[in-house]
Each structure stands twice: as C-alpha cells, then as structure tokens.
C-alpha cells in the first residue's frame, strides 16, 4: 500500500512540475509554427500570383480600364514641336518634321495621370469599362466620379502589369499622349477620336503590337486583383508597395499609318514585393500560446485531480488498515470475546468462556503483559479466534525474507531470517508466537 501511495504522490508532483517544460515547449512550438506558416503562406501567395499569370505567354498583360470618345487634346503649333518633344533623338527617330499637325494631350490631363494612384481609380474605371464599345456614350465624364475631370479626357487608359520576379510585379497605366497628322489639312475631333480608337484596337487585337496583344477586357479581374492586391497575399505574407523601386512604365512607342501617328505614354509604375508582415508575429504567437496553454492547464488539472482522488482513496484505505492493525490487543480481545457473538448461534459453553474472558479483560491493564498473553491464549484456544491480521503476517514475511540479507551479504542474519521465514510458512501463529518472531526480526535489523 505504501508503495502505491508513494508512486501516486510522485506522479502528482511530476504532474505539476511538467507544466513548466511543457509551457516552454509551447513557446518554442509557436515560433516554429509561425516560421512554418510564413513559408506555407508565402508559397500560397506565390502560387496565387502564378495562377494569375498562367493564362498569358510571358510575364505581361493588360486590360482596358477606361474608354472615352471625347478626349481632351490641344493642338501644338509647329514652332513648339520641340517643346512637345524635348528629346532630340526621339524627334529624329520619329521624323517629327513630317508631321504638320500635332495634338498633344492637355497638360492638366498629363498632370492628373502622373498623380493618379492606380489602386484608387479602379472602382470608377470598372464602371466606365462596362460601357466600352458603345459609340457616342461617355461612360465617365469626370463629374460623376471623385477623380479630377482632366484624367478622364485622355481617350483611353490601359492598365498594364509586368511581373518582375517570382515575388514582385509592377502596375502602371498606358495611354495615348499625342496624335500627329502628316498633312496640312485641319482635323476635327471625329478624326482625332478615330486615330486613338484605331490605336487602341491595334493594341488590343493585333498580336504584333509591342505588348503582344495581351490586352483584353476579360483580364480586368486579374488586373484589379494585382493593382488592389485583393486576392493575393496570405495572412503573414502580403504584397506591399516597394517605394525604393519607383520606375517608369516600359511603354514608350507610337502607332502609325499613312495618315497619322498615335504616341503612347505611360505613368510611373507602382512596384509590389511579397514581404513578411512581422507585425502579426506577436499577436499570432500570443494567440497560439494562449490556446495551447489553456489545453495544457486543462489536461494537467484533470490528471492532477484524478491522481489526487486516487491518493485520497489510498490514504483512506491505508488509514483504515493501519488503524485496524494498530488496534490495542486488549481491544481485540474485547472485540472477539464479546458474549453477544455466541448468542446468535447459541453456544452455552462459549458464552460462559467469553463472558469470563471479557470480564477479566475489563480489569486488565495494557502493561500487564502476562495477563494479556494469558487472555490471548484463552481467546485462541477456547474460543478458536485468531487475533492476528493478515497484514501483520505479510509484514513479518516481507521483513524476514532471506533475500533482504544478501545485499550486503550477512551469513548469520540470513540463517536466522531463513528459520523465521520457514516458521511463518507453517501453521497459524498465536499472538504469543507473533510477538516473539516480531522481536527476533527486529533484532536482525539492529547493528
């Protein structure tokens, strides 16, 4: 019994001590979990980006964001051509001297385009793009949106995206910046509109265009996802603007036919890079630790409660046994010699003997060893009752086991223990014999 009480007590102590290393383990696991999640979500974000670009050959595509049949252009006089085209090499390359009439997008529109935040215009642009293709309709005229009036007078705007690397891409706007005519005839808005419309048609439908023809209204969902970063990025990883990589769009060319040239310009690009958002680390770690700590405390509390209940049961059982074993011998004599015990199945002789023993036991003191032994002999012989408990016999057997004296080896004690152990294996002991053997066993453990 003592062994079980000891084991359960050790388990209870270990149960509470385990909390500290396990809590530390939770913190370490939280760090590893954040690292694993970061790698997993980074891969998820890159896969999402891959899925957007998988429909296109190469790493570029665009979509028509805005289409306006009444763009705002101004005529540039021949004397100010160099102001419109300050780059002399570009002037020579495009033989601008042959262009007798140049219409340049008005300066306020250019200024509006340069200041445009791509992500902020898409809702309005999307509304405009719904009506693209309906001739004579002005989807957005500026007054119906929160944007500046000038921006919506560029003719059209293509949202263009370029993938720079596995985890980086850039978005910018492409638009017609100028229209030049070769003849000296006056040109009206209808002809101007026709030129920029043809240029848009070439970019959208002709595979030989400098953006490979990957421009379609069908791509607007993908473009919006990239420009607004709605569907890309996963929890701890997000595509964030990289302010260190401000660059101009890669579109700088013109579309020409026998009558005119439409010069294409672009706004500055906004570059986005996949970055780890460590602002979420502490919150996610605290949440992870808090949840697992609750589970740990619950498990340890339940196991501790169960072990405590087991210990209480063991202690109570042991207490009852010890109380029974340690009961004074006179109490045992009185208990087993009570005349009532022999009246249920009436035995007149035993009632008489029991009465005699019980009466004498009331007047005998615990210290009168001879009288106590005499009463014990009477109870055992005349009443046929054993005054010893099984636990007392087992305890003698345990302590007198010869193996106890093999380490360290003691030949003399082993011989005595062997005789005692053999006697205990025979007939039932009387109380007198029990006391004698108990004293002999005690002497074995004395130096």
Assess whether 215 and 258 both reside in one domain.
Answer: yes
Calculate mean pLDDT across residues 399-419.
Answer: 85
What pTM was computed for the model?
A: 0.54
DSSP lists the bridge partners of residue 105 as 73
**Predicted confidence (pLDDT) per residue in 101-111, tens digit:** 888 887 777 77
Given 258, 292, 326, the domain boundary residue is: 326
Domain with 261, as residue range(s), is 57-276
Q: Is the pLDDT of residue 302 over 70?
A: yes
Please report the pLDDT score of residue 249 as a whole number.
Answer: 56
Assess whether 149 and 20 both reside in one domain.
Answer: no
- Total tally of structural domains belonging to the chain: 3
Percent of the chain with pLDDT over 70: 78
Assess whether 12 and 120 both reside in one domain.
Answer: no
Q: How far apart are CA 109 and CA 107, in angstroms?
A: 5
Assess whether 261 and 153 both reside in one domain.
Answer: yes
Assess whether 247 and 342 both reside in one domain.
Answer: no
Please report the pLDDT score of residue 133 as a whole number.
Answer: 46
Please report the pLDDT score of residue 146 as a whole number.
Answer: 41
Assess whether 127 and 109 both reside in one domain.
Answer: yes
**Predicted confidence (pLDDT) per residue in 30-68, tens digit:** 878 777 777 787 888 888 888 888 877 667 888 887 777
Assess whether 345 and 268 both reside in one domain.
Answer: no
3-state secondary structure 26-67: HHHHHHHHHHHHHHHHHHHHHHHHHHHHCCCCCCEEEEEEEE
Residue pair 43/125 in contact (Cβ under 8 Å)? The answer is no
Assess whether 246 and 264 both reside in one domain.
Answer: yes
In the block, tokens 């690009």 appear at: 269
Calculate mean pLDDT across residues 252-270.
Answer: 81
282 vs 65, which has greater pLDDT?
A: 65
Assess whether 109 and 226 both reside in one domain.
Answer: yes
Which of 114-128, 141-155, 230-244 is most confident? 230-244
Please report the pLDDT score of residue 113 as a whole number.
Answer: 75
Banded model confidence at residue 122, pLDDT cuts 50, 70, 90:
low
Given 248, 276, 304, the domain boundary residue is: 276
Assess whether 224 and 335 both reside in one domain.
Answer: no
Q: How far apart are CA 182 and CA 204, in angstroms?
A: 25
Assess whether 160 and 63 both reside in one domain.
Answer: yes
**Predicted confidence (pLDDT) per residue in 318-365, tens digit:** 777 655 544 578 888 888 888 888 887 887 888 888 888 888 888 887
Q: Is the pLDDT of residue 445 over 70?
A: yes
Residue pair 260/182 in contact (Cβ under 8 Å)? The answer is yes
On average, the pLDDT of the chain sits at 77
**Predicted confidence (pLDDT) per residue in 178-227, tens digit:** 888 888 787 888 888 888 888 888 888 777 776 665 777 677 778 878 88
Q: At what angle do helices 390-400 and 281-325 cross, to 10 degrees?
A: 100
Other C-beta atoms lying within 10 Å of the C-beta of residue 69 = 17
- Range scoring the smallest mean pLDDT among 31-35, 146-150, 211-215, 284-288: 146-150
Given 276, 306, 341, the domain boundary residue is: 276
Please report the pLDDT score of residue 89 as a whole number.
Answer: 55
Assess whether 19 and 100 both reside in one domain.
Answer: no
Please report the pLDDT score of residue 16 as a whole number.
Answer: 80
Calculate mean pLDDT across residues 285-313.
Answer: 85
As given in the structure block, the two tokens for residue 250 are 């890669």
Question: In degrees, to the nearest 5, what angle opens at C-alpha 427 toward C-alphas 328 and 344?
Answer: 60
């Amino acid at each position: 019994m003592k062994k079980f009480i000891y084991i359960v007590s050790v388990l209870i102590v270990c149960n509470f001590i385990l909390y500290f290393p396990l809590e530390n383990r939770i913190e370490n696991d939280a760090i590893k979990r954040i690292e694993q999640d970061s790698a997993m979500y980074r891969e998820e974000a890159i896969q999402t980006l891959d899925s957007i670009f998988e429909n296109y050959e190469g790493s570029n595509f665009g979509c028509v964001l805005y289409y306006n049949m009444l763009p705002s252009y101004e005529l540039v006089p021949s004397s100010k051509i160099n102001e419109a085209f300050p780059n002399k090499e570009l002037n020579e390359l495009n033989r601008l001297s042959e262009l007798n009439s140049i219409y340049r997008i008005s300066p306020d529109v250019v200024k509006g385009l340069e200041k445009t935040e791509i992500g902020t215009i898409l809702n309005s642009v999307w509304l405009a793009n719904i009506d693209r293709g309906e001739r004579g309709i002005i989807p957005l005229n500026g007054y119906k949106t929160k944007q500046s009036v000038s921006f919506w007078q560029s003719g059209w705007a293509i949202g263009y995206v370029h993938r720079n690397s596995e985890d980086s891409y850039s978005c910018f706007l492409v638009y017609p910046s100028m229209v030049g005519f070769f003849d000296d005839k006056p040109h009206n808005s209808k002809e101007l509109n026709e030129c920029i419309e043809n240029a848009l048609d070439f970019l959208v439908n002709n595979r030989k265009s400098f953006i490979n023809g990957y421009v379609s209204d069908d791509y607007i969902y993908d473009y919006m996802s990239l420009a607004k970063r709605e569907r890309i990025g996963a929890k701890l990883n997000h595509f964030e603007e990289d302010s260190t990589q401000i660059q101009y769009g890669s579109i700088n060319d013109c579309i020409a036919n026998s009558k005119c040239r439409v010069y294409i310009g672009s706004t500055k690009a906004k570059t986005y890079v996949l970055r780890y958002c460590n602002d979420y680390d502490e919150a996610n770690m605290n949440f992870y630790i808090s949840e697992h700590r609750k589970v740990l405390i619950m498990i340890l509390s339940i196991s501790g409660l169960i072990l405590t209940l087991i210990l209480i049961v063991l202690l109570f059982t042991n207490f009852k046994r010890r109380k029974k074993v340690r009961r004074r011998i006179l109490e045992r004599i009185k208990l087993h010699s009570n005349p009532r015990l022999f009246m249920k199945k009436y035995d007149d002789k035993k009632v008489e003997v029991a009465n005699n023993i019980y009466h004498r036991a009331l007047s005998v003191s615990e210290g009168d060893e001879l009288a106590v032994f005499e009463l014990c002999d009477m109870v055992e012989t005349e009443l046929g009752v054993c005054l010893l408990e099984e636990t007392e016999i087992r305890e003698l057997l345990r302590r007198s086991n010869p193996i106890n004296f093999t380490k360290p080896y003691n030949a003399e004690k082993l011989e005595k223990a062997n005789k005692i152990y053999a006697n205990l294996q025979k007939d039932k002991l009387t109380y007198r014999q029990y006391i004698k053997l108990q004293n002999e066993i005690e002497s074995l453990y004395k130096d």
